[in-house]
Amino acid sequence: MISSPGLLLRQAVLNSKPLQIVGTINAYSAILAEKTGYKAIYLSGGGVAAASFGLPDLGITTLNDVVEDIRRITRVTKLPILVDADTGFGNSAFNIARTIQEFELAGAAGCHIEDQVSAKRCGHRPGKQIVSLEEMVDRIKAAVAARKDPNFVIMARTDALANEGIDSAIKRSKAYIEAGADMLFPEALTELSQYELFSKNLPNIPILANITEFGKTPLFKTEELHKAGVSIVLYPLSGFRAASAATLNVYKTILNEGTQESVVSTMQPRMELYQYLDYFKYENELDKLFGTQNNKDEK
């Protein structure tokens, strides 16, 4: 069925070479991504923790925290959204099953589950620990068994490169795919040749490259990633980082200069905000309901 978010994501992967996905930390950024022309979006666990709760990406936020942000985003966009499920929000098959079911109900197109221990760390930080291959295979099997929509994407993420090397990471990835994972997310790769090895050893499996700023992976271009066998290029927090830097600059300017005048040119104009939000459509509805005069003058 074409309305399935999972099917939309799968089609976007097939139709793009590669598919670029940007992280959207809230509903408004999802609107911006859709109207810019992206075909899919992403919700980062680190983004939920930082933007919604002011917490670091250390597995502190809960399943319900993430689900609420999924709902807010899927309410305003038709784009399929891939969601960071961390380690599955629990050690048991029942916990993982609930995660998949809640994500589906909230409108997500798919999620990735990683092979770190429950007390996880950012994939580009030192000190990561991973579970056994067998435990991660069980996570994938539980996730696959739990989905109602067979098109809901189960993506396996492996952080094994940092701890065990690329041969082990590929061995693990093969086992995760055999367990039922649809796509693969090898985290924190450092060379294009590593993507080529994953692609060679896992033919016909969509591979995601996480091109996050200030991490271990260089900012490879989409063309060279595609040549290396990558199907999906993810920019998980690029917009959030840019917005945070701009916000900080405005706050400092107002405090130091006593006015925002010198940074107004860096702000999104009111009318542009209105355009992205379809503001006047809502005003027109009020006019129809209550017979009020729609005043479109900027205030």
Q: Is 299 a member of any domain?
A: no
32: in domain: yes
Pair 226, 252 in one domain: no
User: What's the whole-model pTM score?
Assistant: 0.93
Residue in 34, 69, 102, 114 annotated catalytic: 114
CA 215 – CA 236 distance, rounded (Å): 12
**Alpha-carbon distances, residue 268 vs 15, 27, 118, 264, 295 (angstroms):** 32, 16, 40, 8, 21
Answer whether residue 133 is part of any domain.
yes
86 included as an active-site residue? yes
Domain boundary among 195, 216, 237: 237
187 is catalytic: yes
Burial category of 214 from C-beta neighbours within 10 Å (exposed 0-12, middle 13-18, buried 19 and up): exposed
| 218 lies in some domain | yes
Domains in the chain: how many in total? 2
Residues 199 and 251 in one domain: no
User: For this structure, is 287 an active site residue?
Assistant: no
DSSP annotation string for 145-204: HH-SSTTSEEEEEE-HHHHH-HHHHHHHHHHHHHTT-SEEEETT---HHHHHHHHHHSTT
**Looking at the domain assignment, is residue 297 inside a domain?**
no
Type of residue numbered 129? Q
In a domain, 202, yes or no: yes
Please identify which of the residues 38, 42, 195, 235 carries the catalytic annotation: 42
Residues 151, 271 within the same domain: no
Task: Count other C-beta atoms under 10 Å from residue 67's C-beta.
Answer: 20
CA angle 191, 194, 198 (to 5 degrees): 155
- 188 phi and psi angles, rounded to 5 deg: 60, 40
Catalytic residue flag (residue 178): no
List helix spans (H) across the chain: 5-15, 27-36, 45-47, 53, 63-74, 93-106, 133-146, 160-164, 166-178, 192-201, 222-227, 238-257, 270-277, 279-290
- Evaluate whether 222 touches 195 at the Cβ level (below 8 Å): no
237, 252, 279: which is the final residue of a domain? 237
Catalytic residue among 34, 84, 115, 159: 84
Domain encompassing residue 271: 244-290
Same domain, 166 and 215: yes
295 is a domain residue = no
- Tell me the pLDDT of the chain (299 aa) as tens digits: 457 999 999 999 999 999 999 999 999 999 999 999 999 999 999 999 999 999 999 889 999 999 999 999 999 999 999 999 999 999 899 999 999 999 999 999 999 999 998 878 888 888 789 999 999 999 999 999 999 999 999 999 999 999 999 999 999 999 999 999 999 999 999 999 999 999 999 999 999 999 999 999 999 999 999 999 999 999 999 999 999 999 999 999 999 999 999 999 999 999 999 999 999 999 998 888 887 665 555 44
